[in-house]
Amino acid sequence: MRFSKKQLIVGIVTLLIIGAIAYLGFKKPSEKISKLSPAEQRIAAILEKDADEDGLKDWEEVLWKTDSHNKDSDQDGTSDGEEVSLGRNPTKPAPDDFLSTDTGTASTTTGSTAPKTATESFSRDFFAKYITLKKNQEEVSEEDQNLIIAELLSKEYAPIEKKTYDLSSIRISADSSKTALRAYGNAIGKSFIDSTPQVVENELTLFENALNIKNEGGDGSAEIAKLDLIIAGYQKNIKDILALRTPRTAQDLHIALLNALSGVTVAIESLRIGYDDPVRGLTAVQVYQTEVLALSEAMTQLYAYFVRNGVTFTQDEGGYIFASVI
């Protein structure tokens, strides 16, 4: 099988990202390094360089295919950086040099296809910075590559947005009696139990397994497809909880639970996409970890709410699930 240049680049960067995950962990670079090391200072100085002072860094000039030693590559009287900021092609003389709204990126000005995934966008930027670094030093070490990746991962290549719920999203009940609270807690617990698929591995393990199979030359699609059952379960869970009549005294806790479930769901959906788009997958891992903590906190707060109101659940009741997360 023959691979296109773009497929090879994306594949190489995917492997680099996986290596960088082990090197950096899942924390954001800003959280890992409070002060720049000598190596980071050296790389930062190179990547911040703008030799012709036209407003485009030298590595950005690589993307736009402009001359890093000529402020006005197309000689139309406007500097390269200003043309880019105005939505114009810095390699094509005015006046017919405006970029269309759907092709206003560096990749499209050079006649190539615009990046369709976060990983393709990341790959484009990584190799532009790699080439710039290579021009300024004899060797680009693995540490140098990891530091470039860390810097790039601080950008939002694949922002993940969840659906949020508020007071207008839920049904309120004026009944806050112990009987009503018990029924409410049991209904939530039953929804969690009924919505949980029979999948042994957790979401992150499935994602990791699928990527490992793929990176070893196999087909991890069956493994990643197991996430579909989990996603469907969370979607059912949200639908069930939205249908409940919520005691007024629990309305804020109810909304927090829904928003946490929404966050976990969209994170897992992004893990699913991340099988073919590792940069999005990495973002999804970070979001997933945050949202799972939010879900645990929401369940803990609901448990405390029931205890404060004198409601406890036996092991044969759905509401006992709250005690299991403490």
Task: Copy the structure tokens of residue 250.
Answer: 């629990």
Both tokens of 24, joined, read 């950096």
Taking residues 94-103, report their average pLDDT: 67
Banded model confidence at residue 85, pLDDT cuts 50, 70, 90: confident
Predicted confidence (pLDDT) at residue 225 exceeds the cutoff of 50: yes
What span, in angstroms and rounded, lies between the C-alpha atoms of 17 and 268? 19
Q: Which two tokens stand for residue 5?
A: 């240049």
User: Which run of H or of E encompasses 173?
Assistant: strand 171-173
Pull the structure tokens for residue 127.
């190799």
Both structure tokens of 170:
């839920």
Task: Report the alpha-carbon distance of residue 21 to residue 26 in Å, rounded.
Answer: 6
Residue 295 has pLDDT above 90, yes or no: yes
* % of the chain with per-residue pLDDT over 70: 79
* Mean of all residue pLDDT scores within the chain: 81
Res 22 pLDDT > 60:
no
Angstrom distance (rounded) from CA 259 to CA 291: 9
DSSP H stretches of helix in 137-202: 142-153, 178-195
Residue range 132-136: mean pLDDT, rounded: 78
Instruction: Check if the beta carbon of residue 236 is closer than 8 Å to that of residue 213.
Output: no
What confidence score (pLDDT) does residue 28 get?
A: 45
Contacts 24+ apart (CB under 8 A), 25-29: 26/282, 26/285, 26/286, 26/289, 28/153, 28/154, 28/286, 29/150, 29/151, 29/153, 29/154
In the predicted model, is pLDDT for residue 264 greater than 90?
yes
DSSP string, 12-68: HHHHHHHHHHHHH-SS-HHHH-SS--HHHHHHHHHHT--TT-SSS-HHHHHHHT--T
For the chain, the helix, strand and coil percentages under 3-state DSSP, each to the nearest 5: 60, 0, 35
pLDDT (mean) for 5-25: 51
Contact 311, 269 (CB under 8 A): no
Q: Which helix (H) or strand (E) holds 203?
A: helix 203-215
Residue carrying the six token digits 């493994």: 223
pLDDT of residue 220: 92
Q: How confident is the model at residue 309 (pLDDT cuts 50, 70, 90)?
A: very high
298 pLDDT higher than 80: yes
At position 65, the amino acid (one-letter code) is K
Question: With 0-12 CB in 10 A as exposed, 13-18 as middle and 19+ as buried, what is 290?
Answer: middle
pLDDT at position 15 = 55
Q: Does residue 122 register a pLDDT over 50? A: yes
The string of pLDDT tens digits covering residues 59-71 is 677 667 788 889 9
This prediction has a pTM of 0.69
Summarised one tens digit per residue, pLDDT across range 162-217 is 999 999 999 999 999 999 999 999 999 999 999 988 877 889 889 888 988 887 88
The pLDDT, as a whole number, for residue 266 is: 97
